[in-house]
Chain A
Amino acid sequence: MTAATLIVLFVLPLVMLRGRTLLTCWGTQLALTALAAILYLHVPIEARLGFITVAVLHVVVALLFIARGTKVQWSANRAAVIAALLYALAIPAMLRTPIDGDEPFYLLVTESIVHDFDLDLANQYATLENTASGRTDLEPQLGDPVGTNGEKYSRHEPFLPLVMVPGYLAGGLIGAIATIALFGVLLVRSTFLWFSEEGIEETTQRALFGFFALAPPILFYATRIWPEVPGAFCFVEAIRGLRDRRTQRWAPALLAMVLLKLRFALVAVMLAVRQGRRALAILPILIIPLLILQFATGSATSVHSWRELLPGAPVRYAIGFFGLLLDGMSGIAFQAPFYLLGIYAITRWKEMPEGFRVGCVAATLYLVTLLPRAEWHGGWAPPLRYIVVFLPVFALGAAKLWERVPRGVIAVIATWTMGLVIHGLTYPWRLFHIANGENPLGEWLSALYRADVSRLFPSYIRLNDAATIGGVVLVAGFVLFRFVRVPTHLTIAALSLAMALGLTYAKKPGATVHFEDAHVKHDGGELHPHVWFVQRFLQRGGWMTRDGDSMTFLARGGDHLLHYGTGTPAMIEVAGHAYQLPPTGPYTRAFRVHVDRNGMTTIRVLHGQIFFERMELERP
């Protein structure tokens, strides 16, 4: 695999670069390899992390030459070839740990189709040792459709598993993922063809190529089993077809999109509205998938309900909206900052290409129904799951703005994106994160400093102060960027200062301590509810403890309200004071405890089984 990676990395520039540009690129790659070899002798880091870092840097070098070189043979097809080569390398990296989230279930349906010619998973669940996913812990999820004769169906639409059948037959799990990667490659090709049709210059496309095709979330969704990337491909093809009035392009694309995921019907509806008089032509596309589902599983809407379309409370929309933009775990700003430019493009609506406006309008109803959902962040999936399908549209908006974006901002985005790619490829299991208000970076820093650094990152899953501040800063930033030009060097200097002040602040004790967080040193006990608990994001997480267990953390001096739950009377010691905790029944209750001064504080369970949720400062 190492040899294959090195070969691909050096062959990569050959796809697009020629002449002196190619030679300089190879020279730079050789120099980079030599530097890496020297560093390898001296840096005590994990070999895999080092190798992936160097590989990503090689790709970045090639992308820089593609973006800025003088002898570049750019085309959407060549872009697709590069994407194909790199996706092929990324797939084994993703398979370092078993597939996760919905992925094994999609694969299970594929296996059912291949082996039994049906969608009933009952026998698959009974013989999990045979599944190519290697996941023997699967079981039907709460609310999965059950047939009249006790058949166990998956909640997931069967079209994606059906599409994966040839790949699965050819190569098992790898073949199934390769099918999705193939859609990723097609998505890259279609998107850049679309960009050309929308008048985006070649130099801009070259610069954007890496940000779109080889960066999160497209990279991670193109190399795992999710319907989002095939959906994105269908979406782009549908828009291109409607733009060119080619029914043979948009109709199958839109039908496939809705078949991939019933929720995408909301996109089709908006496209129909946008089409005006031709709206009725889209009607069969909405009906056929419902009929297929009804026929296959006995339920036309599967686990969905029409009530999902009813409006929610306004605050839920605000949380979902800002969460998708800014959340540290699942927001665009932290997980795919390039697309913030696409969001910003909305503020220049009239200047935007027609395709961007059509795409945004098409996304409206889907997003309006997504925002108030408790699972706006995507649940147990790599970040930005629910908006992957619209990312080509945001990329188009970013492309239109590209020449106006300060190079310093692009450099910040590029550096952060590189970090995300290296992190995601090295530790693919960290793409999945429990919805507890933290993220991997915050957890790492929290563990390093034994302080709640995670509270610096905006969380709309577990609302914190940073979320409010982040929302204000984002809006102010958009306004500022629209009307004021701040020099790059001052922007970066301000960013540096913000980082330094942030860490200084974070190292001081916070007003609230969540006991499941990484900064709390746990001596005994366990996470509750456990990581795999279905829809864990609907629960308040904490730490379950028993006699003798303890937790140490940084706390402020003063009176605190300790939120806990226990079935029987229990006794604890907090910062040297003993407290008798009354039973709370099935709920949690607040109990006042006192911490003498700022500093490391220990809660020790003297007697009983107690669930500790959080501790809030009441009075300093």
Chain B
Amino acid sequence: MRIFSWVLAAALSAYACHLSVQHATPIDAALPFLAVILTVVAWASTPTVMLAVPLLIGGEMLFGDERVRLLWFGAVVAGALVYAFAANGTDETDGKSAEAAGPYRALYVAGAAILLLRWIPFPVESWIREGFLLAFCLAIVALLRSTPFALFVGVATALFTPAVPLRTLFFPMLILMLAAFVRRALPRLTVPALALVAVMVLFFPWSGIVARATPYFFRNARPATERHHINQALAASKELTIEVPERATALIVSGANVPRMVRGTVLGVLQCGPSHPSHSSYSSHRSPADCQPRPIVIGDASDWGYLRRENFYAARNPLPRDPAGRVRDYGYAAWIDGAGRVPLPRGARTIRVTADPRLPQGSSLQVEAFELER
């Protein structure tokens, strides 16, 4: 009888989430899925975890801004999972002990976290390899005695395994083997481990970016400001001279078909352009050093699509120092393009961008836009 009440709760919660969907992102659409996951975790730990469902619905209703809303979902789910794992009390009123679930509780929480991080958006790219990955990661958690640290290792392994190509599944297998050796020697590290799990789950709406461009979330995400679009791709040795618009602060550039290039490889050069017919291109107070040619290298910008799931494993590009790419897609499919900001020579009225003559055929330096001051 009791199990039926839980099934009923899951069904009601999922239906409520389905009814409450107000926005069009895949994360909003996945709210019923989240409700079911949370109900299962609540069943395995403590019913209080179910409170996350009305909180998700509340967020869906209240927050129109997409970033705020999705981060709210992340915060609610992260809080619920950490609470489900850490709650050591009993809920006498429901006659059910959170302790009763014992070591399995960690497996439920880990499973829930992995599903959230990897199985959204639907449909999942490959059920079989995702299923294997889930099994490996749960085995890691179990092997490491279901401690908070085990939870962290299991969830992190799932998050950082690309699973495309298939051979990357050796990574969780390797971790599993290591776990078998060190299982007794590892500490619990309750607070830091749970905090790290919380951080990973917090950003589950963009888990693909967390996995493939982790530093992005620890940098000051400068909001996209107004842009003056150029949209020119320069093949090797090609150059482009452009007038700098008012309020321009940076040039946004990226590479095309350069994912194998390593940090520091030159993509092109940025320098001051010739004088504009009606203005001097140099202000009177500017030193000649300001107009020194500035190389644009991998690290200032990267291949435009290198953070896509299917491209990432083969790519050697780093995240640009000052990433200007836009966040695209959701869940594990989320990625940002490899555009980066290159500061403009101070006071320049025109600039000249020249693509490096050594760029391979088919590759190019893409001059995307000027970023304008607010």
- What is the minimal beta-carbon distance from B193 to any residue of chain A, in angstroms? 10
Establish whether residues B93 and A488, one from each chain, have CB atoms under 8 Å apart when the complex forms: yes
Contact with B94, one of A44, A487, A499, A504 (Cβ below 8 angstroms): A487
Are B19 and A504 in touch, CB under 8 angstroms?
yes
Smallest beta-carbon distance B101→chain A, Å: 14
* A445 near B61: Cβ-Cβ < 8 Å: yes
Contact A490 B51, CB 8 Å, known A31-B192, A499-B58, A500-B20: no
Cα distance A501–B16 in the bound complex, in angstroms: 7
For residue A411, which residues in chain B have a CB less than 8 angstroms away from its CB? Answer: 48, 51
Please name the residue on chain B nearest to A412 by beta carbon: B51
On whether the beta carbons of B202 and A35 are closer than 8 Å, the reply is: yes
Assuming A38-B217, A489-B9, is B19 touching A408 (CB within 8 A)? Answer: no
Q: Is the CB of A404 within 8 A of B93?
A: yes
**Residues of B contacting A35 in the complex (Cβ-Cβ under 8 angstroms):** 195, 198-199, 202
- Which listed residue (B18, B19, B93, B217) contacts A405, Cβ 8 A? B93
**Residues in chain A near residue B65, CB distance under 8 A:** 44
Could you say which of B8, B68, B190, B191 contacts A490, with CB atoms under 8 Å apart?
Answer: B8
Which residues of A are found within 8 Å of B123, using beta-carbon distances? none
* Interface: B124 (CB within 8 A): no
Chain A hits for B64, CB < 8 A: 448
Q: Residue-by-residue, is A444-457 near B (CB-CB < 8 Å gives 1, otherwise 0)?
A: 11001000000000
Bound form: Cα–Cα A495–B62 in Å: 16
Return the contact of A44 from the options B6, B46, B67, B220 (Cβ within 8 A). Answer: B67
B-side contacts of A406, CB under 8 Å: 91, 93-94
Partner of B54, one of A24, A38, A45, A495: A495
Number of A-B contacts (CB under 8 A): 146
Contact residues in A for B202 (Cβ distance below 8 Å) = 35, 38-39
The answer to whether A42 touches B67, judged by C-beta atoms less than 8 angstroms apart, is yes
The answer to whether the Cβ of B147 comes within 8 Å of any Cβ in the partner chain is no
CA gap between A387 and B67 in the complex, in Å: 41
B17 CB-CB contact with A under 8 Å: yes
Q: Does B223 contact A (CB under 8 A)?
A: yes
Q: A496 contacts the other chain (Cβ, under 8 Å)?
A: yes
Do residues A494 and B12 form an inter-chain contact, with CB atoms below 8 A?
yes
A26 to chain B, nearest CB (A): 9
Q: What does DSSP make chain B's interface, helix, strand, loop or mixed?
A: helix
Q: Is A4 an interface residue (CB 8 A)?
A: no
A27 at interface, CB cutoff 8 A? yes
Please, how many residues of chain B have a CB less than 8 angstroms from a CB on the other chain?
Answer: 54
User: Does A472 sit within 8 A of B, measured CB to CB?
Assistant: no
Residues of B contacting A490 with CB < 8 Å? 5, 8-9, 12
Selected from B19, B50, B91, B221, the residue in CB contact (under 8 A) with A41 is B221
Name which of A403, A445, A487 has the most chain B CB atoms within 10 A of its CB: A487
Residues of A within 8 A of B93 (CB): 404-407, 485, 488
Cβ of B234 to closest chain A Cβ, rounded Å:
33
| B296 interfacial contact with A, CB 8 Å | no
Which chain A residue lies CB-closest to B31?
A500
Q: Which residues of B contact A31 (CB under 8 A)?
A: 191-192, 194-195, 198
Residue of A30, A38, A487 near B5 (CB, 8 A) is A487
Is A301 among interface residues, defined by CB-CB distance under 8 A? no
User: Taking the complex as formed, is A68 at the interface, i.e. its CB lies under 8 A from any CB of chain B?
Assistant: yes
A497 contacts B by Cβ under 8 Å: yes
Please report which residues of chain A, range 413-430, place their CB below 8 angstroms from some CB of chain B when the two chains form the complex: 415
A52 within 8 A of B: no
Q: Report which of B16, B71, B192, B195 forms a contact with A496, defined as CB distance below 8 A.
A: B16
Q: Which residues from chain A contact B48 at a C-beta distance below 8 Å?
A: 407-408, 411, 488
B53 interface hit (Cβ, 8 Å): yes
Kindly state whether residue A503 has any CB partner on chain B within 8 Å. yes
Which among B20, B92, B220 is the interface contact of A503 at CB below 8 angstroms?
Answer: B20
A492 and B221 contacting across the interface, CB-CB below 8 Å: no
Q: With A and B bound together, what is the CA distance between A403 and B92 in angstroms?
A: 9
CB of B135 within 8 A of chain A? no
Residues in chain A near residue B42, CB distance under 8 A: 489
User: Considering the chains assembled together, what is the distance between the CA atoms of A403 and B62 in angstroms?
Assistant: 33
Q: Which of A42, A412, A485, A501: most chain B CB closer than 10 A?
A: A42
How many angstroms between the C-alpha atoms of A504 and B19 in the bound complex?
7
Give Cα A445 to B57, complex, Å.
13
Q: Is the CB of B58 within 8 A of A493?
A: no
CB of A179, distance to nearest CB on chain B (Å): 38
Tell yes or no: A34 within 8 A of B by CB: yes
Give B206 Cβ to nearest chain A Cβ, in Å: 9
CB atoms of B54 and A68 under 8 A apart: no
B94 touches A496 (CB 8 A): no
Instruction: Say whether A496 contacts B191, CB under 8 Å.
Output: no
Q: Is the CB of B61 within 8 A of A499?
A: yes
Given A35-B195, A448-B62: A489 touches B57 (CB 8 Å cut-off):
no
Q: Is A43 an interface residue (CB 8 A)?
A: yes
Least CB distance from A526 to B in Å reads 27
| Assembled-state Cα–Cα distance A35/B191 (Å) | 12
A34 x B50 contact (CB < 8 A):
no
B15 surroundings in chain A (CB, below 8 A)? 497, 500
Q: Specify which of B53, B57, B91 is in contact with A488 (CB 8 Å cutoff).
A: B91
Contact with B along A236-258 (1 / 0, CB 8 A): 00000000000000000000000
Nearest chain A CB to B173 CB, angstrom units? 31
How far, in angstroms, from A187 to B118 measured CA to CA in the complex? 52
Taking the complex as formed, is A28 at the interface, i.e. its CB lies under 8 A from any CB of chain B? yes
List A contacts of B194 (CB < 8 A): 31
B219 beta carbon closer than 8 Å to chain A? yes
Residue numbers in B under 8 Å from A34 (CB-CB)? 195
A448 to B68, CA, bound (A): 15
Which A residues lie within 8 Å of B58 (CB)? 499
The residue on B at minimum CB distance from A32 is: B195
Complex Cα distance A497/B8, Å? 12
Question: CA separation between A415 and B13, bound complex, in Å?
Answer: 18
Among B47, B55, B64, B217, max chain A CB count under 10 A is at B47
The answer, among B13, B20, B91, B190, for a CB contact under 8 Å with A407, is B91
| Docked CA distance A44–B94 (Å) | 40
The docked-state distance in angstroms from the alpha carbon of A81 to that of B50 is 34
Q: How far is the CB of B202 from chain A (nearest CB, A)?
A: 7
Enumerate B88-136 residues with CB–CB distance to A below 8 Å.
Answer: 89, 91-94
- Known: A42-B71, A492-B54, A503-B61; 7 extra A-B contacts, CB below 8 A, are A34-B195, A43-B68, A415-B55, A489-B42, A496-B54, A499-B16, A503-B20
Q: Would you give 6 A-B contacts (Cβ < 8 Å), ordered by A?
A: A38-B202, A39-B75, A406-B94, A445-B62, A496-B12, A497-B13
Instruction: State the B residues within 8 Å of A (CB).
Output: 5-6, 8-10, 12-13, 15-20, 35, 39, 42-43, 46-48, 50-51, 53-55, 57-58, 61-62, 64-65, 67-68, 71, 75, 89, 91-94, 190-192, 194-195, 198-199, 202, 217-221, 223
List the interface of chain A (C-beta within 8 A of B). Answer: 24, 27-28, 30-31, 34-35, 38-39, 41-45, 68, 403-408, 411-412, 415, 444-445, 448, 485, 487-490, 492-497, 499-501, 503-504
Q: Which 6 A-B pairs have the closest CB atoms?
A: A31-B195, A27-B191, A500-B19, A496-B16, A488-B47, A493-B12
